Structure 1
Amino acid sequence: MAKIRRTDNSRLDAPKGLRPSVLPARNRESRDRFGRATEWVARAMGTPWFLLILTFFCLVWIGYNTWGPENFRFDSAALGFTALTLILSLQASYAAPLILLAQNRQDDRDRVQIEQDRQRAERNLADTEYLAREVVALRLAMKDMASKEFIRQELRSLLEELEKDRPEHEQTGTAGDGGR
């Protein structure tokens, strides 16, 4: 008996991306088109217009099959409008999965948006921390720098020292300059 050899990616307990798909691979664009169509249907079913049209459709159906010409009636009121019930059940059985598909796509978009928001918040936090460190460094550097008042005071004290060191006759301006 020949032994069938299985590779790791053919196991059913492997992650979905690692095992071969049962259906043939389709391009991403056709899946996205189908997803957009399901979202459109789900959005359309959630509108007041859809409810009004469905209500109008049911009223016309019931009215025609109740008061219409007997030869042309196709759904008996005596049987409880079986065809209408089947049509509405079919519509509901397709509506539920389409709505779930649309919700799954929205959840995926929300997940991506949340991840992008988290990354943006992390970048903003890192930028804010960097700017805060720079502001602190500038404040520290400003405290080390001399202010105008400090420089003026130093210049005054230097002038006072120079004037103390000069001989007395130079301070008055009368020493042998010939009256110039």
Structure 2
Amino acid sequence: MRRPAFPRPYQHEHGPVRNVNDVVKEQLTVGQKAADWIAAKVGSWEFIIGQSVILTIWALLNVTAWVQHWDPYPFILMNLVLSLQAAYTAPMIMMSQNRQASRDRLEAHNDYEINQTAETEIRAILDNLAAQNIAITEIHAMLENLQPSRID
């Protein structure tokens, strides 16, 4: 009797799956961390509410003259402070967004590699199942040949 040829067990030829978050965290510079922190703070309701409170107090103190007018109406100093704030935070937010875009590209590439690996492993499983089907068919045929013919 001839034994059916079974394929060799599938060998995993890929490295471990990388966590993109860990890879990105390892590559962050101090400037990138600062840009992410600023983008997170400036893009929050706490910042909007806090800034609104400060600007309201600023305007009230300068209009009502409870203290010395350091910035009388039309609040030119306040406009200067807000312009400086916008001039510095906008580029930092853009740096954070650019870094996020590069992180997204890294995630997409990692997903592509995982999909390729999964496709290879699924193909190996399907080949193994096909070989098992052939072996089962041959075993079934051998068992039928061993059985004496039935008389009805």
Matches for 1:84-163 after TM superposition, within 5 Å = 84-145=78-139, 146=141, 148-153=143-148
Q: Which amino acid aligns with 1:101?
A: M
Structure-2 residue corresponding to 1:53: 50
TM-score (norm. length: structure 1): 0.63
Whole-angstrom distance in 1 between the partners of 2:99 and 2:91: 12
CA RMSD of aligned residues (A): 2.1
Pairing partner for 2:62 from 59, 62, 65 = 65
Q: Which amino acid aligns with 1:75?
A: D
Mind listing any 5+ residue stretches in structure 1 that lack a counterpart? 1-28, 157-180
Structure-2 residue corresponding to 1:44: 41
Partner-residue secondary structure (3-state), 1:131? helix
Q: Which amino acid aligns with 2:121?
A: D
- Segments of 4+ in structure 1 off by > 6 A? none
How much does 1:152 deviate?
2.1
**Number of residue equivalences:** 124
Higher RCO (C-alpha under 8 Å, 6+ residues apart): 2
How much does 1:111 deviate?
0.9
- Higher-Rg structure is 1
Mind listing any 5+ residue stretches in structure 2 that lack a counterpart? 1-25
Whole-angstrom distance in 1 between the partners of 2:42 and 2:56: 18
How much does 1:73 deviate?
1.4
Partner-residue secondary structure (3-state), 1:65? helix
Whole-angstrom distance in 2 between the partners of 1:90 and 1:117: 41
